[in-house]
Amino acid sequence: MLKRILWSLLLIIIVIVIYLVALPVPIDPVAWEAPTNPGYSGAYAPNERLKGIQVLPIGDNHGPEDIALDTQGRIYAATHEGRIVRLQPDGSNPENWIDTGGRPLGIDFDNDGNLIVADAFLGLLSIAQDGTITELATMADGVPIRYANDVDVAADGKIYFSDASTKFGAKEWGSTYEASLVDLMEHGGHGRLLVFDMASCKTKTLVEGLNFANGVAVSHDQTYVLVNETGRYRVIRYWLAGPKKGQAEPLIEGLPSFPDNISTGFDGRFWVALVSPRNPLVDKLSGNPFMRKVIQRMPAFLRPKAVAYGHIIAIDGEGNVLIDLQDPNGSYPINTSVTETEDYLYIGSLVTPVLGRLKKAKIGL
């Protein structure tokens, strides 16, 4: 009897080993070297300055990824349900303004009052105030836009936006989150920064080879555009003018968390939303493609996932950290974006059923 049990256990172990080593997976991991993690020290020393966020109801929706305000001060949020929720300037009366039929992520108003939407399922969209939806771009340089992520409209009307991954499309994977996990695990450089020219109606690739291209922000003086490279914990600057025009370079590297969206704030600052702290195992296995395949074969609940931690920072045009706001308890967690107004910081989240905002006076702004 004991011998039979031992043989059964051995067989089970052999099956598990074969499963973990040989089962086909959708990723082909690339070896890379993760930068040193500064952790929560120095400019990122732990604090609780992000606590006390005011929350605004958004109806039967959740995951207010990004926020934009129109000229009347009304508040718009892109939600997980595919709807754009609109609130009154005082944060009241949430209404389901538009359902894109996809998954809207980054949003920004253009010079004519149209809401420009980076929809992860549908591409780049424009929504007029009467609710008319116009498809602007689904391809760039002959390659389908499979994961439109964030967007910013320049003063000249050009629309800069990111395609997070040309390999792992959000729609094909059923969700933006699942697609992001496999893209980050492979680290194959499938992301790109794009620009859509309203005059020519053409879309052009500016930067490619990014590891999960995310947030996008045009500089205050319009001389460069920033794009968050989530998979490498850094922000990239692409020059639009000057002696370095057409060149890309890191602005800030070695962040302690995965950067999500970035936005242009007041007084020359940029706000970066840090969606989740870095995972030590992911960093440790950056140079080990084989083990990353093994992890991908594990049940989903055993794989690395986002941790509930509230964190946003402001940086300047030199990459210096000016402001660091944290909530270690994650009362308003998984921060995806920051939109600054005269009085508030509106803060997005991947998971919350409410929209958060923080009075600037509370943090001395």
How far apart are alpha carbons 247 and 251 in whole angstroms?
A: 12
CA angle 66, 217, 54 (to 5 degrees): 35
Domains along the chain with CATH numbers: 2-363 (2.120.10.30)
Q: Let me know: does 263 contact 338? Beta carbons within 8 Å.
A: yes
**Tokens at residue 219, please?**
């500089």
Q: How far from 213 is each of 46, 258, 328, CA to CA, in Å?
A: 27, 11, 26
Residues near 362 by Cβ (< 8 Å), separated by ≥ 6?
52
| Residue closest to 159 by CA, chosen among 107, 209, 86 | 107
Return the pLDDT at 151: 98
pLDDT along the chain (365 residues), means of 10: 60 50 76 96 96 95 97 97 98 97 98 97 97 98 98 98 98 95 96 96 98 98 98 98 98 98 98 96 93 84 86 98 96 96 97 97 94
pTM above 0.85, yes or no: yes
CA torsion, points 218, 223, 227, 229, in degrees to nearest 10? -160
Q: How many CA atoms lie within 13 A of 195 on its CB side?
A: 20
Return the pLDDT at 1: 63
Which letter does DSSP use for residue 162 in this model? E
How far apart are alpha carbons 163 and 149 in whole angstroms?
A: 6
CA torsion, points 22, 26, 30, 35, in degrees to nearest 10? -110
Residues near 84 by Cβ (< 8 Å), separated by ≥ 6?
76, 77, 78, 96, 97, 98, 99, 100, 104, 107, 115, 117, 127
Return the pLDDT at 16: 47
Return the pLDDT at 19: 46
Burial (CB < 10 A; 0-12, 13-18, 19+), residue 154, is middle
Roughly what angle, to the nearest 10 degrees, separates helices 176-186 and 289-297? 150
Return the pLDDT at 284: 95
